Chains A and B, each alone.
Chain A
Amino acid sequence: MGDPSRFGVYGGRFVPETLMAALKELDHAFRTIVPGEKFQAEMQYYLHEYAGRKTPLTFCRNLSRDLGCRVYLKREDLLHSGAHKLNNALGQALLAKMMGKERLIAETGAGQHGVATAIAGAALAMQVDVYMGEEDIRRQALNVARMKMLGARVVPVSSGSCTLKDAINEALRDWVTNVETTHYLIGSVVGPHPFPTLVRDFQTVIGNETRAQVMEKEKKLPDAIVACVGGGSNAIGIFTPFLGEETRLFGAEAGGEGPAGKHGATLCRGRPGILHGTYTYLIQDAFGQVLESHSVSAGLDYPGVGPEHSFLRDAGRVSYHPVTDQEALDAFLYLSRAEGIIPALESAHAVALARHIAPGLAGDDVLVINLSGRGDKDVAQVAELVGDAL
């Protein structure tokens, strides 16, 4: 066993000394409380009875016919809250509660993780403060209202670029200040150790279910799996049980405006560096100043990525590709019309990449797309963007 805080050279704990005690406390709780019977029993209750697991693996007749292989969707869009984020929010909130913390803080970009944390806080009777960039608050009014209705406080962030990156900075600053009473419920497989491992473990339920469901239906493992990658939690969640198998794994990054324009394709177009406590691929300038990312999908609009993805990229185990805003919008409408399922714009990136790789698959090959969330939150934005095309 190497250093548990690292994935190859990536990961680590690049945080102010003041936070180290909290990270060590969390790491200890993660290793002692989570495997215990009490935690596991509670978690089963919340995942199954409360959140609605397991989520279906839907065989898509129309997509399969159109794409020329056997296409399945893993339906995280049908999870309570409408996205996979709740798996992690419930897990961490329960852990924080059992650690004796009274308050949860979270960052959110599109608002999905903020909503998931607000739900977990309501269910577990914990105070929730969600940091959100002013720019994102303006873009995601629906989710802001949802968080407030669920009893959370939404704290506007006006520093830096006023988006997700700055919301994480502000949440870290809050945590440094209130470290004794507060748990920072980070929303993706990013940040300092143990967060990338902790969040991965809570999201691996997606991959474990998928594996059993595909085996049952197809009597074999899937040939290919596609997921979108912002921070990368839904992708890690579905990839993990297949890392040791032959299954080909594909990550769809935010290609944004395309090769010449602004983007969020950290793994495809970035270079390693340190942001938010971890060594990982970043979108940055020559001197190490982190640059603003761009994506039509707020959930993929992040200049970093989970350190385990950086490792999987370098190892060649997962193949990452940029998907442009336009391709994602096309895929959004394509899935809506072909199957009657409106995907989140994030998940639409995975659908778009699946359309690219399907021609390379055989007719009886099994392709799984992780549909990480539903698209209700994006309906107004897409209607505005595509306009007459509707």
Chain B
Amino acid sequence: MISRIGDAFSHQKRPLLVACLVAGDPDREVSLSLMREAERCGADIIEVVMPYSDPVADGPVMQKAMQRALRAGMTPDGLFSLLRDFRTSSGTPLLILTYANIVVQRGIGAFYRDARAAGADGVAVADVPLEEADPFCRAARESGIDPVLFVSQTTSPGRLREIADRASGFLYLVAVLGVTGVRGSLNAGIGEYLGKVKEVSPLPVVPGFGIGTPDQIRELARAGADGVIVGSAIVSEVERTLGDGSRAREAVGAKVRELASALR
């Protein structure tokens, strides 16, 4: 089976922009319109976060967005229906990001099957490291979903190889020691580490966490990144425009356009 995510990377001659939004933030309808707007303004892949009550890998912006979405009633069924609606009019690759308990409570196999049926192409689970990855990766492959796994600067070379062997779609490189959220500058040595990961990985390598400005994106592109993932910088536009769906759409669109221009 051809993966939409793999396809996107192999066909594009420049690094891709992965734009991240929280499903159901601030509500279902606005959330769907933001996904469409992000796509229209240059996002190559949309990462949709299924919120969890205790997101330990996330900083304040994403935490608050998840709380908003949960208060507005987002559930895995709601997520899948949102993705189905998006899919009716779009072929853009969709990556779900969530936490292990959300997947486990639905049943690992069921979560991946339902994700696939809703039109998702990849799933990344923030609190599933290599040691716990096997049941998740197996279910992903059985459903034709790319299991996207994480590597970080604390990942040893041998471990990197094992992770790259199990993942597909791309490798999610955690670009900071810490949680999600825009930083003033990138971690020293991230470019060099990116090079090391690329030596080992047959998959595209895409940094995320802490990235939010065109300059940072250009710096990572120069260092050889196959794409960049931006979350908090986009989601903070939703926070800034709460209560006004059309302003939110404009603000998110403008931010995505600004970020995408750094890769063209």
Contact = CB atoms under 8 A, between A and B. Distances in A.
Interface stretch (A18-26, A52-60, A143-151, A195-203): A18-26
Given A14-B128, A17-B152, A176-B177, A288 B102 contact: yes
A179 interface: yes
B177 A179 contact: yes
Contacts of A20: 129-131, 154-155, 159
A286 B76 CA distance: 11
Given A176-B57, A277-B127, 15 more contacts: A12-B131, A14-B132, A16-B152, A17-B150, A17-B163, A17-B174, A18-B153, A19-B154, A20-B130, A169-B55, A178-B177, A275-B101, A287-B75, A289-B70, A290-B54
B54 A18 contact: no
A341 interface: no
Contacts of A169: 54-56
Contact of A16 (B52, B150, B153): B150
Given A16-B174, A20-B130, A179-B177, A287 B105 contact: yes
B129 A15 contact: yes
Which among B53, B154, B156, B179 has the highest number of chain A CB atoms within 10 Å? Answer: B53
A269 interface: no
A17 B129 contact: yes
A257 B159 CA distance: 48
B127 A22 contact: no
Contacts of A166: 54
A279 B152 CA distance: 23
Given A173-B59, A173-B179, A287-B75, A14 B127 contact: yes
Given A14-B132, A16-B56, A169-B56, A274 B101 contact: yes
Contacts of A81: none
B223 interface: no
A5 B105 contact: no
B151 interface: yes
Interface residues of A, number: 38
Interface residues of B, number: 41
A5 B102 CA distance: 22
Nearest to A5: B131
B63 interface: yes
Given A13-B129, A274-B100, A176 B179 contact: yes
A377 interface: no
A274 B136 CA distance: 14
A177 B56 contact: no
Nearest to A272: B104
B32 interface: no
Contacts of B157: none
26 contacts: A5-B131, A12-B132, A13-B131, A14-B129, A15-B56, A15-B129, A16-B150, A17-B154, A19-B129, A19-B154, A21-B155, A22-B154, A169-B54, A173-B178, A273-B104, A273-B105, A274-B100, A274-B101, A275-B54, A276-B54, A282-B101, A284-B105, A288-B52, A290-B53, A290-B101, A291-B53
A126 interface: no
Among B52, B101, B159, the one with the most A-chain Cβ atoms within 10 Å of its Cβ is: B101
Contacts of A160: 53-54, 63, 67
A94 interface: no
Interface of A: 5, 12-22, 159-160, 165-166, 169, 172-173, 176-180, 273-277, 279, 282, 284, 286-291
B152 A18 contact: yes
Contacts of B243: none
Interface in B110-159: 126-132, 149-156, 159
Contacts of B70: 289
Contacts of B67: 160
Contacts of A18: 57, 150, 152-154, 174, 177-178
Which of B70, B99, B127, B153 has the most chain A CB atoms closer than 10 A to its own CB? B127
Interface string B29-61: 000000000000000000000001111110110
A209 B83 CA distance: 58
B197 to A, nearest CB: 12
A19 B132 CA distance: 13
A18 to B, nearest CB: 4
Contacts of A16: 56-57, 126-127, 129, 150, 152, 174
Contacts of A12: 131-132
Contacts of B59: 173
A70 to B, nearest CB: 44
A21 B156 CA distance: 8
Contacts of A274: 99-101, 104, 127
A180 B76 CA distance: 36
A179 B59 CA distance: 16
Nearest to B172: A17
A277 B132 CA distance: 11
B179 A177 contact: yes
A182 to B, nearest CB: 11
A19 B159 CA distance: 13
Contact of B52 (A13, A173, A289, A291): A289
A180 B152 CA distance: 13
B102 to A, nearest CB: 5
Contacts of B102: 287-288
Contacts of A286: 105
Interface in B153-196: 153-156, 159, 163, 174, 177-179
Contacts of A172: 56
A152 B185 CA distance: 30
